[in-house]
Chain A
Amino acid sequence: MSATAWAWLVLLLPLLGCVVVSLGFRAIPARVAGVVGTAAVGLSFLCAVAVLVNLLGEGADARHHASSLWTYAGAAGLDIKLGIYVDQLSAFMILVVTGVSALIHLYSFGYMRSDEGYHRFFSYLNFFVFSMLLLVLAGNFVLLIVGWAFVGFASYALISFWYRRTTATRAGMKAFVINVVGDIGLVLAAFLIFRELGTFDYGAVFAHAPAVFARGEWTVTAICLLLLVGAFAKSAQIPFHTWLPDAMEGPTPVSSLIHAATMVTAGVYLIARTHVLFYLAPTAADVAGFVGLATLLVAGTIAIAQTDLKRAIAYSTMSQIGYMIMGVAIGAYAQGLFHLMTHAFFKALLFMTAGSIISAMANIQDIDRMSGFWRAMRFTSLMLVVGGLALAAFPLTSGFFSKDSILAYAEARGGMYTWMAVGGYVGAFLTAIYTFRLVFRVLPGRPCEEAQHLIDTGELYHGPPVNPATGEQEDTEVGFPGAHHHIAEQSWPMAVAMGVLAFGALFAGLIQIPGVDNVLFGFLDPAFADSPLAAIRPSAGAEWRGLAIGAVISVVGIGLAWYLWVARPELPRLFRERLRPVYLLCLNKWYFDEAIDFLVVRPALAIGRFADSTFERLVVDGVVSGTKDVVGGASGVVRTVQSGFLRSYALLLIAGFAGLALYFLLRAT
């Protein structure tokens, strides 16, 4: 079978899983639904491997194929096909997406065991995987938008999965609204592309764009800026990032899958896919690079102050995606995607460990309450350390190589991009601190009440079911989390998924060691051969220098975190008191929510109220009731003729005909 045939199977299997689980939810038992959902994505991963094998069997320049099943719309110069495009980039993306998704499905199989909405969960998850694969496999902008909107919906449905929690439904709506803003940007960009180039097809657009647009022309800059609106909203970059921390209201596997490993990296994929356009629009590319830089720094500072375990990791996700956006924007395409892959491994792993710890804490997410889990949950703690090391770019872990490859590229490109490298290293220092702040606050020390309970009885602590955000009482029926929680130590699917990801988090970087091997870049580079920026390569010496700086920063950051939160735990409190304004700024997330509320939400509400009270009441109601009155009055006059007297009708009839006859007689003479 050809690469495209396998790619169609990759797309079909999760859709099939979703349909089977959602339509058969009465007939099939919960366990089977989990197996079906997991197997669908697992098989999809195998098909993705087959795609890769097929591509590797071809010459490096022939590794791109378009295939279409049928034509969606073909009229008046419009030619939209239900088509996919398989090249190195999409093959790489489907491998990452299906691989990590399969593991997270496996994890959910154990983690969501006691939830009443088990079927629903797996059908949503499968639908999400299908949508994400559609997004990365789409062969034209229309299908890309379809996949883009589908993942937005899947994200909304899964954030609000516990739909009886008001905080969860609000978070879902927030995510959806902000994502729709991004969708609008993407749709407008597609319109502009069609207006200028007359086609939506990737191959034709990227082939013709360099001839149609001059470099730096305003139309292509506008297209790229609109694409960026979509990318920023999906990838939680400033100023469209506020939905991501709130999205942590969803179940932890969802945070792991959608809001860490796959969906939020769609913006990175989009920029990498449209790199031809971004090369033609250097202004837009620089905007993206600096927004990425700003996001990675801002999110890093916020993550240091957060006390909610999942939210702190969510800010870390934002920060890491900032690296990727910065990378693909300035031309480090393969490097950005490399970081995308390693980040998918270690961030999914971190969320999984967070889920395990939160289960042991009976759904409490506040790290102020946690301590001493090293003695209670050895495996989970080990995984947290592994994920933390990779995130903090500890030497020889995967994050170490991927993050530094981006920064080495920025330095090699020189000019103002050197500042991006410097900012990136500052961000790396923040990353090491906030990551190991979590580790050092959760793992060592005297076990907290919940951890002690686990050590003493070997069973999980069960408090009354409450909403961790508000403390409201809940029950355990459908629409709320189930009655029992599950930790990796007591559930083999969770442990297996975490073990595999930990392997990836530790060793995935070894496929791309500067000067030693070149597996990933060697595969991806031909896809970006049409951009002169991809040819810039730091020398091996510069790369090793960067790695050395990264290693020092990482070790110093971890050491500082150890000093602050283990050796001298009174110091952070002192900082909080001395540097109160800075602390408040970080704790309150740089007041982005308040700023957006003030600048966007309130004016929109005011306009809405004005429209309701003034425009609706006076203008719309005036026109409507005015029309009604005119028609009613006129028909009141005409109605008097309908007296109901048969003989008056007869008189009218006869008189009318007599009048007509008289008229014609007079005319005739």
Chain B
Amino acid sequence: MSIDWYIALSALLFATGAMGILLRRSPIVILLCLELMLNAGNLALVAFSRMVGNQQGQVFALVVMVVAACEVVVGLGLIVAIFRRKLPLDVDELRELRG
């Protein structure tokens, strides 16, 4: 099977995630979309790794998974904190850092 399909799928997933981040306002959905983008990257790494024939790309994919797990911990923690303080769970409402 040609590498093209893998890359196309990866690009599709990445674009979906990016569109989700740009269009959705719920922090949870944004977090999900971020995961989608990371995994699109992972897919591309693994596919290239298969094509080249060594394991380095797959190792990178594992590292990205670890980073993603950490990021989810922080992100979810923030969301819980926002919820606890009874702030709106809406990124357009949370704009106190306006310059």
Contact = CB atoms under 8 A, between A and B. Distances in A.
Nearest to B14: A654
A644 B18 CA distance: 19
B96 interface: yes
Contacts of A642: 97-99
B31 interface: no
Interface string A632-654: 00000001111111110011001
Contacts of A646: 30, 91-92, 94-95
A650 B96 contact: no
A647 B25 contact: yes
Nearest to B98: A644
Contact of B97 (A644, A647, A651): A644
B22 interface: yes
B99 A647 contact: no
Interface in A621-669: 639-647, 650-651, 654
A650 B33 CA distance: 12
B72 interface: no
B21 interface: yes
Interface in B24-38: 25, 30
A643 B22 contact: no
Contacts of B94: 646
Contact of B18 (A641, A643, A654): A654
Given A645-B92, A646-B94, A647-B91, A639 B18 contact: no
Contacts of B22: 647, 650-651, 654
A296 B21 CA distance: 95
Nearest to A647: B22
B98 A643 contact: yes
Nearest to B33: A650
A645 B99 contact: no
Interface string B6-29: 000000000000100111010000
A656 to B, nearest CB: 12
Contact of A645 (B18, B23, B30, B95): B95
Interface residues on B, range: 10 to 19
A639 B99 contact: yes
Contacts of B25: 647
B40 to A, nearest CB: 13
A647 B98 CA distance: 13
A647 B18 contact: no
Contacts of B97: 642, 644
A640 B98 CA distance: 8
A654 B20 CA distance: 12
A642 to B, nearest CB: 3
Interface string A564-578: 000000000000000
- Which of A639, A640, A643, A650 has the most B CB atoms < 10 Å from its CB? A650
Contacts of A647: 21-23, 25, 91-92
B10 to A, nearest CB: 14
A89 B30 CA distance: 91
B51 to A, nearest CB: 19
Contacts of A650: 21-22
A649 to B, nearest CB: 10
- Which of A643, A644, A645, A651 has the most B CB atoms < 10 Å from its CB? A644
A654 B21 CA distance: 10
Nearest to A642: B99
Contacts of A654: 18, 21-22
A644 B92 CA distance: 8
- Which of B18, B96, B99 has the most A CB atoms < 10 Å from its CB? B99
B21 A643 contact: no
B70 to A, nearest CB: 20
Interface in B81-99: 91-92, 94-99
Contacts of B99: 639-644
Interface in A447-466: none
Interface string A37-48: 000000000000
Nearest to B18: A654
Contacts of B30: 646
Nearest to B92: A645
- Which of B22, B25, B96 has the most A CB atoms < 10 Å from its CB? B22
A651 B30 CA distance: 13
Contacts of A644: 95-99
A644 B96 CA distance: 6
Contacts of A641: 99
A658 to B, nearest CB: 9
A392 to B, nearest CB: 85
B26 to A, nearest CB: 11
A647 to B, nearest CB: 6
Given A650-B21, A651-B22, A643 B95 contact: yes
A632 to B, nearest CB: 13
Contacts of A639: 99
Nearest to A654: B18
A452 B65 CA distance: 108
30 contacts: A639-B99, A640-B99, A641-B99, A642-B97, A642-B98, A642-B99, A643-B95, A643-B98, A643-B99, A644-B95, A644-B96, A644-B97, A644-B98, A644-B99, A645-B91, A645-B92, A645-B95, A646-B30, A646-B91, A646-B92, A646-B95, A647-B21, A647-B23, A647-B91, A647-B92, A650-B21, A650-B22, A651-B22, A654-B18, A654-B21
Interface of A: 639-647, 650-651, 654
8 closest A-B pairs by beta carbon, nearest first, are A642-B99, A644-B95, A644-B98, A639-B99, A646-B91, A650-B21, A644-B97, A654-B18
Interface of B: 18, 21-23, 25, 30, 91-92, 94-99
Given A645-B92, A646-B94, 4 more contacts: A640-B99, A641-B99, A642-B99, A643-B98
